[in-house]
A and B are shown apart, each in its own frame.
Chain A
């Protein structure tokens, strides 16, 4: 018999979940009373609010092993019981349509939590119960948290929890998590269900009569071959649904002769997936018939009214532009000055302090601390105020339900690049910093669209690039600088759009991911949820800055010092000289090329490097210097200056972003592709501009 590699690796993955800090109740003595709960739910049901209310700051954010999908684990207490809560990814179903769905069901099947608590949005009861219909086919007992009851009432719907509980045969707890109502009742129900203190007689959905025989046939064929701990009944059902993962696993576990029979049965019932789903919805219809009172037909709700503007092709775009304007406004009025202050006062102050403390230390050590650590990783940290603004505003818009509308409005434009609206959010984050932009591509379901967005994200001018632009454009162009700056930002976006169109054609042959996205109801923001989100994103960013960004900064610093301790004679300068012929095509000498290369540590470094190479030692990253301006103007023609700024805007991103790309794509191949692509695009565009300027005689 063939062995399934996928099954073995699932097991390993889940074991490492336990190592990461999920106390496995199987290993602890029964007297300590620890239970494990998996928190399930569809997207937009307020699940993260429930999780946050339950666990507060008592939570651990990591990744699901081997995945870039966030995993949150937390604990709370009920009387003398410790409840470990594992927050499953938000999923509409438990089919293997996305990695999230796979993670959720693998966790429940393999880890067998004591209870699964499924959070349900009362305002979209039928669709939400679909997940419950799937969960009831798995072994763990289920509690239903009927959330957002207030939103449902607002939409004119009435749900009777007692009636629903009687129909389903599972405990149903009514709650409004944003107001902390009913969350305690949910914990109580979880703990009581875990110890068998609550009645539990679920009415498990059955398959439609016309598919009963096929299901039984599949079940019989697979008998004795289904790997533990998968329930055979569930495996047969998933086979009938055409589930990719289960089909693959069973193909590996079944003897060839039986697999051929199974395959033939499945071929004859290829359309069963819709019927199985339809059967679940029929079951849902029966369950909710008595419990749900709907509004009058045609009642115009609050969400409908807002959406007339927010999703309109013209007004929606203007609204979005206005919101982005606010973000940029905040960035310029609050973020940039704070960043500047952190840079000059804090990082500059620390550099002075380090200089004094290390005055007797070897020169290389002083340089390592000041230029490598503080100038690289420290520099990245100064952008935190700008990121905080982005995180907070985007978190607020997301929590209110607006972000899906922004994605919808932008879909028309993203469509041209073979992407859909969802890619807009991470790309927008890129104006703040490319690192969270790359990390933010996680929300995109299709791997193809995600990779394309990762490739494009560095072309969004980040705030560090814009800071360099703001510093150097006046040096080359004096009063015309603002015009040139805006032109270059527009050029970056144009290059991004063109790259998207081309990359989509070349790499992905123009295929386009399906655009199916829920537009949640608008609701008042929950400050706690937003606050925690901002906090977690910030911690994640700082962790990166302290680890991988720090390591790469130091590495690049070493290249810029070795072997003789001078930038001019370093390995990096050698590389700059090698690149001089390419630089010649855009009117740049080796010094400009080295400045460009050092921007790999942090974008601002190109300014500092220019200061060093042009012998203007007082010129530091944060402060201005008239001397450098003079030197640059006398060395470079305006055309070469424009070419330098162009290549600077489009060049490979900083080391921090490269590290993020590596993490998100999970392969060096994609990192290499991204770097190669950006090198070609940045040099190509800059050479084109320089030559064009030469032709028109600038």
Chain B
């Protein structure tokens, strides 16, 4: 299980656990970051914010927020 922020572009993670304050967790969960949801990393330059795609939506996440989403890496489909 790794933080979402450690995935590379094109990789897909399956959400396992959300950590952090209740407000952030609640917002992330409402946007679709719930256990078993698949998240594809669209942009990650190793620092600064990331862009991920979850449930047909592109979402910009601060690196801190992305670190609070722990995922299981899924083998690349392509």
Q: Check A278 against B31 for contact (C-beta < 8 Å).
A: no
Of the four ranges (under 10, 10 to 19, 20 to 34, 35 or more), the interface on chain B belongs to 35 or more
CA distance A358 to B39 in the complex (A): 71
The answer to whether B2 has its CB under 8 Å from any CB of chain A is no
Least distance between B64 CB and chain A CB atoms (Å): 7
Q: Check A514 against B64 for contact (C-beta < 8 Å).
A: yes
Q: Check A404 against B60 for contact (C-beta < 8 Å).
A: yes
List the A side residues contacting B55 at CB < 8 Å. 124, 126-127, 281
The answer to whether B61 has its CB under 8 Å from any CB of chain A is yes
CA distance A303 to B59 in the complex (A): 13
Report A245-273 residues with CB < 8 Å from chain B CB.
Answer: 273
Please pick, from A125, A277, A421, the residue contacting B30 in the complex, using a CB distance under 8 A: A277
List the A side residues contacting B61 at CB < 8 Å. 515-516
Please pick, from B26, B30, B48, the residue contacting A411 in the complex, using a CB distance under 8 A: B48
Q: Check A281 against B37 for contact (C-beta < 8 Å).
A: yes
Closest B residue to A101 using CB positions: B30
Q: Check A126 against B26 for contact (C-beta < 8 Å).
A: no
Least distance between A321 CB and chain B CB atoms (Å): 17
Report B40-76 residues with CB < 8 Å from chain A CB.
Answer: 42-43, 45, 48-49, 51, 54-62, 64-65
Q: Check A516 against B26 for contact (C-beta < 8 Å).
A: no
Q: Check B34 against A278 for contact (C-beta < 8 Å).
A: yes
The answer to whether A431 has its CB under 8 Å from any CB of chain B is no
Least distance between A134 CB and chain B CB atoms (Å): 9
Q: Check A277 against B34 for contact (C-beta < 8 Å).
A: yes
Closest A residue to B35 using CB positions: A278
Mask of A401-419 contacts with B, CB within 8 angstroms, 1/0: 0001001100110010000
Least distance between B72 CB and chain A CB atoms (Å): 16
List the A side residues contacting B58 at CB < 8 Å. 303, 307, 518-521
Closest A residue to B36 using CB positions: A278
Q: Check A313 against B45 for contact (C-beta < 8 Å).
A: yes
The answer to whether A52 has its CB under 8 Å from any CB of chain B is no
Q: Check B30 against A408 for contact (C-beta < 8 Å).
A: no
List the A side residues contacting B64 at CB < 8 Å. 512, 514-515
Q: Check B78 against A411 for contact (C-beta < 8 Å).
A: no
Say whether, besides A278-B36, A307-B42, A127 and B62 are in contact (CB < 8 Å): no
Q: Check B22 against A411 for contact (C-beta < 8 Å).
A: no
Q: Check A516 against B62 for contact (C-beta < 8 Å).
A: yes
Least distance between A628 CB and chain B CB atoms (Å): 49
The answer to whether A311 has its CB under 8 Å from any CB of chain B is yes
The answer to whether B1 has its CB under 8 Å from any CB of chain A is no
List the A side residues contacting B45 at CB < 8 Å. 313
Say whether, besides A274-B29, A274-B34, A307-B51, A124 and B57 are in contact (CB < 8 Å): yes
Q: Check A514 against B62 for contact (C-beta < 8 Å).
A: yes
Mask of B9-49 contacts with A, CB within 8 angstroms, 1/0: 00000000010001111111111101111000011010011
Q: Check B34 against A281 for contact (C-beta < 8 Å).
A: yes
CA distance A198 to B32 in the complex (A): 31
CA distance A123 to B53 in the complex (A): 13
Least distance between A563 CB and chain B CB atoms (Å): 55
Q: Check A125 against B56 for contact (C-beta < 8 Å).
A: yes
The answer to whether A539 has its CB under 8 Å from any CB of chain B is no
Q: Check B22 against A515 for contact (C-beta < 8 Å).
A: no
Say whether, besides A514-B65, A516-B65, A127 and B57 are in contact (CB < 8 Å): yes
Q: Check B26 against A123 for contact (C-beta < 8 Å).
A: no
Least distance between B4 CB and chain A CB atoms (Å): 12
Say whether, besides A127-B55, A421-B60, A297 and B77 are in contact (CB < 8 Å): yes
List the B side residues contacting A92 at CB < 8 Å. 27, 30-31
Least distance between A504 CB and chain B CB atoms (Å): 15
CA distance A520 to B60 in the complex (A): 10
CA distance A251 to B51 in the complex (A): 39
List the B side residues contacting A140 at CB < 8 Å. none
Please pick, from B27, B51, B56, the residue contacting A123 in the complex, using a CB distance under 8 A: B56
List the B side residues contacting A408 at CB < 8 Å. 49, 51, 60
List the A side residues contacting B49 at CB < 8 Å. 408, 411-412, 421, 515
The answer to whether A157 has its CB under 8 Å from any CB of chain B is yes
List the B side residues contacting A95 at CB < 8 Å. 26, 30
Closest A residue to B37 using CB positions: A281
CA distance A313 to B42 in the complex (A): 13
List the B side residues contacting A59 at CB < 8 Å. none
List the A side residues contacting B25 at CB < 8 Å. 273-274
List the A side residues contacting B23 at CB < 8 Å. 97, 514
The answer to whether A216 has its CB under 8 Å from any CB of chain B is no
The answer to whether A591 has its CB under 8 Å from any CB of chain B is no
CA distance A520 to B43 in the complex (A): 15
Q: Check A127 against B48 for contact (C-beta < 8 Å).
A: no
CA distance A168 to B29 in the complex (A): 22
List the A side residues contacting B65 at CB < 8 Å. 514-516
The answer to whether A130 has its CB under 8 Å from any CB of chain B is yes
CA distance A123 to B42 in the complex (A): 18
Of the A-B pairs whose beta carbons lie under 8 Å apart in the complex, a sample of 15, sorted by A's number, is A124-B55, A124-B57, A127-B55, A273-B29, A303-B58, A411-B49, A415-B62, A512-B62, A514-B24, A515-B62, A516-B61, A518-B57, A519-B59, A520-B58, A521-B58
Q: Which 9 A-B pairs have the closest CB atoms?
A: A515-B62, A277-B29, A93-B30, A278-B34, A519-B58, A126-B55, A124-B56, A127-B55, A412-B48
Given contacts A274-B34, A404-B60, 6 further A-B contacts (CB under 8 A): A127-B56, A281-B34, A411-B62, A514-B23, A514-B24, A519-B58
List residues of chain A with CB under 8 Å of any chain B CB. 92-93, 95, 97, 123-127, 130, 155, 157, 241-242, 244, 273-274, 277-278, 281, 297-298, 303-304, 307, 311, 313, 404, 407-408, 411-412, 415, 420-421, 512, 514-521
